A and B are shown apart, each in its own frame.
Chain A
Amino acid sequence: MNFHTWNPVILTLVTFIPLAGALLLLLLPRRDRDIRVFSLVISLFTFVLSLHLPVHFHRAQAGFQYEIDRAWIPIPNIHYHLGVDGISMWLVVLTTFLTPLCVLISWKSIDERVKEFFIILLVLETALIGVFVALDLFVFYFFWEATLIPMALLIGMYGHGRKVYAAVKFFMYTMIASVFMLAAILWLYAKVGTFDFVTIQNAIRAGQVGGFASAAQWLFLGFFIAFAVKVPLFPFHTWLPDAHVEAPTAGSVLLAGVLLKMGTYGLLRFNLGLFPEQARANAWWVMILALIGIIYGALVALVQPNMKKLIAYSSISHLGFVVLGIFSFTQAGLDGATYVMLAHGVSTGALFMLAGALYERRHTYEISEYGGLASSMPVYATFFLFVVLASVGLPLLNGFVGEFLVLSGAFQARAVYGILGATGVIWSAGYLLWMYQRVFYGKITKPVNETLPDLDLRERIALLPAMAAALVMGVAPLLWLNAISPAVQTALAPFAQLASKVVGQ
C-alpha cells in the first residue's frame, strides 16, 4: 500500500477521527467497560495514524506539508486550509500520544457519567489537533474556541472541590482574552480580504496592507493577550492553579500537556509570523514577564503544600522558558522552546498521572499526608523519581535538551536573561526534589499509607510510554530537532532581514 497517497487527507483524518469516535460513542449503550475500550481503541488508532506525519515528513524542506486547501464558506472568504510544519507536527503527535494515556488513567477514576466523559475527551482531542493544523485564521479561531467548552466541562463535571468556580474562571479568562484576538483577526480580514495565514503573511511582508503601520502594535497585542493568558504568562496565570487543582487527572494532563502549548504555539506562529517588527520591539518586556514567570512560578511552587498545585506552578515556570526562548529570536532559543513544549508535555503529563494515581488511593493531594511511601509503593516511587528527574532537566532525559537550548539562545540575546533564566533550573530541582523527599522518604507517619497498593498493570501501561518517550527524547533529540530546525529557520527569516536592515542603516 502506498501511504503517500494519504498525504492530502491525513490531517483531516487525524483531526476528525476522534470526533467521529465521539459521535459513535453517542450511539453506544451505556456499558461503561465497552465505552472505555472503544475510546481507547479510537485514541490509539488516531495516534498510530498521526505517526504517518513524522514518518513521511520531508525534513529538509521548510514550509507547510500535508496541506489541504478547500473553499468552505464563500462570504466571508473562509478556506478549510490545514497544514503542518516541523513545529506543529510534533505538537499534533504529542496530543495524539497523550490522549490514549488519558483514557487509560481515567479507566477507574471516572465511574459515573462515563459515556459523557469519554465523549468530551475525544471532542477535546479533535479541537486541540485542529488548533495546531489550522492555517486559516478563521479555522484556527474556530478550533481555539472549541477547546474551551470540553475543557471547562471536564473540570466542572468531573473535578473535585471548587470545580465549578475553577471551570468558570478558566472559561472566562480564556474567553475574554480571545475576543481581542478575534477583533485583530477581523481587522486583518477587513483589510486583506482573506483569512489565509500564508496570504496574510505575504501581504504584510510585501507592505500591501493599508493602515498596517499604525494598527500593527494593537494587532500584536490583540493576539498576544489571547496567547499570554493561555500560556499562562505572569500576570495572567491565576486561573491555572485553580483549574489544575480541581480538574480530573485526564483534564490536568491535557491542560498542562497540550492546552498551554496552544498559547506558546500561537505566539510563535502568529505573533512572530505576522508581526516580526512588533515582536522585536516588544520583546524586552515580554522577556521580563517570562523571567518573572520562571522565577515567581518556581518560588511559589516551592512553598505549595498541595502536590497538584506545586506541579501547576512548575508549569508556569517551565512555560516561562518557552516564551523566553521564543522571544530570543535565535535558532537555539526557538529550537529549545519547541523542544521544551514537547518535553514538558510528556513529563508534566506523567507527573499529573502519578499524582492522580495517588489521589485515587488517598483522595488528597496534600504533601503532608504522605511520607515514606518508598517502602510501601516501591514501583510507584521509582516511576515518580524518573519523571521528576526528567522534569528537573537531568542530562540524557528530555527536560535537559530544551532548557539548555533555550538558555543558550537567551544568552545570545542578552546575557542577563540567560543568567536569570538559569536560576529557574536550580529552583525546579529544588521544589521537585524536595517534594519527592517529603512524599517518599522518611518514616511512614500515617498508618493508612502502609498498606497502599502499588501501581497496577493498567497504570504502568499508561506511564511507561511517557517514560520511554522522555528517555528517547533525552538521548536522541535530533529525531525531533531535524524537523523542527528548518521550520524555525523559516520563522526566523524575517528577523534576519530585519537585523540586516538595521545594520545596513
Chain B
Amino acid sequence: MMTTGAAVIQIMPQGAEYIRILPEIVLSVFGMIIMVLDPLVDERATQKVLGGIALLGSLAAIAATLYQAQFPGFGFWGMVKVDGFSIFFHFLVTAITAVVILSSFEYMAVQRIRAGEYYGLILLGAVGMCLMSSAVELVLIFIALEISSISTYVLAGFRRRAAISSEASLKYFLLGSFATAFFLYGVALMFGATGSTSFSVIGQVLRSGQIPLLAYAGVALMFVGLGFKVAAAPFHVWTPDVYEGAPAPVVGFMSTAPKAAVFAVLLRVMFESNAPGRVGLIWVAAALSMTLGNVGALVQQNVKRLLAYSSIAHAGYLLVAFASLPDNGIPAAMFYTASYAAMNVGAFAVVSHIAGAGERYVTLDDYAGLGRRSPLLAATLTIFLLSLIGIPMTGGFFAKFYVFSAALQANLIGLTIIGVLNSAVGAYYYLRIIVVMYMREAREEIPAAPVSPALGAALAISVAATLYLGLLPGRVLEFASRSAAELLH
C-alpha cells in the first residue's frame, strides 16, 4: 500500500498517518507525564516512579515501532515516510533510550541528582531522533534535529554542581547552534537549487542531469551541520570537552542515539537525494576523522576523553561507508550504527558505574586492578573494548568488515588502507584499558560498589547485542540491505 507522490497531497491526515508517527506520540506523551508528575511526587520516590515511567515509555515506543512497521508509506503531506529504513532507526533509537534509562537509575541515585526532568528530556530528545529517521523533508528534519539537540544540550549540563558539566553544556550549546545554522543555510541553498525541500523531488532534479552549482554548496553546508552532530573531523573539536563534562550515561546516550539519527539523515541526504560531490567530501572527512580520532585517543588519561576520541574515529569508519556505492554502503552504515550503539552504550554504562559519586574515578589509573576487584564488570568492559577494536566474534568486527568491503567494492583502496591501519592504531589504546584492568594493581583502595539489578540488565542487553551482532549478523544485515534497496527504489 505504498502511496504515490501524487496521492500524498490531501487535506486532513488520515488515521493511518497518525500511526506513522506513533512512536513519537508515545514518547511525547510519556515525556510530558513525567514533567507533570515531577513536582507532585515525593523527592525520594522520584527516582523509582519517574524512572519506571520513562522505562515504560521507551518500551511502549519500541512496541509502537514494531506495530508501525505494518503501515509503511507517507504521511502528513509527504513529510514523513515509514519504511524499513525508518523502522530500523526507530528501533535503534528507542532501544538505546531504554538501555540508557536502565543504566541511569543507579547513576542518578549515586550522584544525588533529582531525576524528574532528566528522564523527561531523554524521552523528548528521543522524539526528535525518531522523527529525524522518518522525515523526508528538510524543514521537518531541521525541526527534529533541533528537538533532539536542545534536549541533549540540557542533558549535558545535568551535573549542574560540577563546573565541568556546565562548561560542557554551554560549549555544546554554542557550537551546536552555530552548526545547526550551517545546516539550515544548506537547506536554503538546496531549496534554491532544486525548488523543493522534499527528498523525492530533490533526488529527481539532481538525477536529471544538469546539477546546479548551488546544490554543491548546499550539500557541503548541510554536511558541515550534520558532521558537527556526529563528531566527524574537522568539526569534532567540541567532543572531548563535552564528553568529559557531561554525565556518563548521557554521554552513552548522546554518542549513540542522536548520532544514529543524524547518520540516518545523512544517508538520506547523500544517497536518496543523490548528493553531488559526495565521494570527495566524505573521503576527506572520513580519513581525517579516523586519523585525528585515533591519534588523539592515544595520549588520553581520562577514560571519558579517550572514549570521546574513539567516537570521533568511529564516526570516521562509518563515513567510509558513505563514500561507497549505495547498494552496500547503506546497509554497512546501518549495521555499523547498530553495533556501535550496542558497544558504546555498554562501555559508558560501565564507566558510569565505576565513576562513583561526583564522577571521581574516571582516569585510567582508577581502572587498575578492576579485573581483581570486580571480575564480572571487567570482563563486560573487555567485551565492549574488544568490539570497539574490532576483534572477531563481536559486533564491532562485522561493522568494520562490512564498511571496508563496501569501500573495496567501490574501489576505494586508499581509504580502505587508511581505515585498516587506523583500526590497528586504535587497538593500542583500547588495549591499554584492558591491560590496566587486568595487569596493574590498584594504587589506592577504590570501593567496589555492587552493580544494581537495573544496570546489570542494561549491561546484559548490551553484551547480548554485541555478541549477537558478532556471531549472527546475517538477519540484521539482511534487513538493512532490504530497506536500503527500498530506499533507492
Contact = CB atoms under 8 A, between A and B. Distances in A.
A178 to B, nearest CB: 9
A149 B420 contact: no
Interface in A126-177: 141-143, 145-146, 148-149, 152-153, 156-157, 163-164, 167-168, 171-172, 175-176
B481 interface: yes
Interface string B465-476: 000000011100
Nearest to A155: B439
B392 A171 contact: no
Given A73-B474, A156-B435, A156-B438, A141 B427 contact: no
B405 A76 contact: yes
Interface in A185-209: 186-187, 189-190
Most buried by A among B402, B420, B431, B472: B431
Nearest to A183: B420
A458 to B, nearest CB: 28
Interface in B390-422: 391-393, 401-402, 404-405, 408-409, 416-417, 420-421
A74 B478 contact: yes
B408 A190 contact: yes
Contact of A149 (B375, B391, B421, B432): B391
A179 interface: yes
A75 B401 CA distance: 11
Nearest to B389: A175
A134 to B, nearest CB: 11
A368 B236 CA distance: 57
A142 B439 contact: no
Contact of B428 (A116, A143, A172, A179): A172
B431 to A, nearest CB: 6
A182 interface: yes
B424 A190 contact: no
B374 to A, nearest CB: 14
Given A142-B393, A149-B386, A164-B439, A190 B409 contact: yes
B421 A179 contact: yes
Contacts of A187: 408
Contacts of B409: 190
A171 B423 contact: no
Interface in A447-487: none
A167 B439 contact: yes
A406 B416 CA distance: 39
A153 B378 CA distance: 13
Given A167-B439, A171-B431, A190-B408, A73 B393 contact: no
Contact of B478 (A75, A163, A164, A182): A75
Contacts of A182: 420
Contacts of B431: 152, 168, 171-172
A146 B393 contact: yes
Contacts, number: 76
A230 to B, nearest CB: 15
B440 interface: yes
Most buried by B among A113, A163, A182: A182
Contact of A73 (B375, B432, B472): B472
Contacts of A172: 424, 427-428, 431
Contact of B405 (A153, A163, A176, A190): A190
Contacts of A176: 421, 424, 427
Nearest to B480: A75
Contacts of A141: 392
A183 B477 CA distance: 21
Contact of B391 (A145, A180, A190): A145
Given A146-B392, A146-B393, A149-B386, A167 B435 contact: yes
A187 B405 CA distance: 8
A74 B476 CA distance: 11
Contacts of A152: 431
Contact of A183 (B372, B416, B427): B416
Nearest to A141: B392
Nearest to B335: A75
Nearest to A178: B424
Nearest to B426: A175
A149 B438 CA distance: 12
A189 B416 CA distance: 14
Contacts of B408: 186-187, 190
A146 B391 contact: yes
Contacts of A179: 420-421, 423-424
Contacts of B427: 171-172, 175-176
Interface in B134-155: none
Contacts of A116: 375
Contacts of B420: 179-180, 182-183
Interface string A91-121: 0000000000000000000000100100000
B382 to A, nearest CB: 9
Given A75-B481, A175-B424, A190-B408, A145 B392 contact: yes
Contacts of A75: 331, 474, 477-478, 481
B474 A156 contact: no
A125 B190 CA distance: 59
Nearest to A146: B392
Interface in B218-253: none
A182 B408 CA distance: 12
A162 to B, nearest CB: 11
A143 B478 CA distance: 25
Contacts of B424: 172, 175-176, 179
Given A76-B405, A179-B420, A190-B409, A168 B393 contact: no
B440 A164 contact: yes
A153 B438 contact: yes
Nearest to A180: B420
Contacts of A175: 424, 427
A168 B392 contact: no
B474 A74 contact: yes
A183 B417 contact: yes
A76 B472 CA distance: 11
Interface in A293-314: none
Contacts of B474: 73-75
Contacts of A142: 392-393
Interface in B353-388: 371-372, 375, 386
Most buried by B among A148, A152, A172, A175: A175
A34 to B, nearest CB: 18
A157 B438 contact: yes
B313 to A, nearest CB: 15
Given A73-B474, A142-B392, A189 B435 contact: no
Contacts of A167: 435, 439
Nearest to A142: B392
A164 B473 contact: no
Contacts of A168: 428, 431-432, 435
B484 to A, nearest CB: 12
Contacts of B371: 157
A157 B439 contact: yes
Contacts of A73: 472-474
Nearest to B424: A176
A166 to B, nearest CB: 11
Contacts of B477: 75
A35 to B, nearest CB: 15
Interface of B: 331, 371-372, 375, 386, 391-393, 401-402, 404-405, 408-409, 416-417, 420-421, 423-424, 427-428, 431-432, 435, 438-440, 472-474, 477-478, 481
| 3 closest cross-chain pairs (CB), A and B | A142-B392, A176-B424, A156-B439
Given A74-B474, A76-B401, A143-B392, 5 more contacts: A73-B473, A73-B474, A145-B392, A157-B371, A175-B424
25 contacts: A73-B474, A74-B474, A75-B331, A76-B401, A76-B405, A142-B392, A146-B393, A152-B431, A157-B371, A164-B435, A164-B440, A168-B431, A168-B435, A172-B424, A172-B428, A175-B424, A176-B424, A176-B427, A179-B421, A182-B420, A183-B404, A183-B420, A186-B401, A186-B404, A187-B408
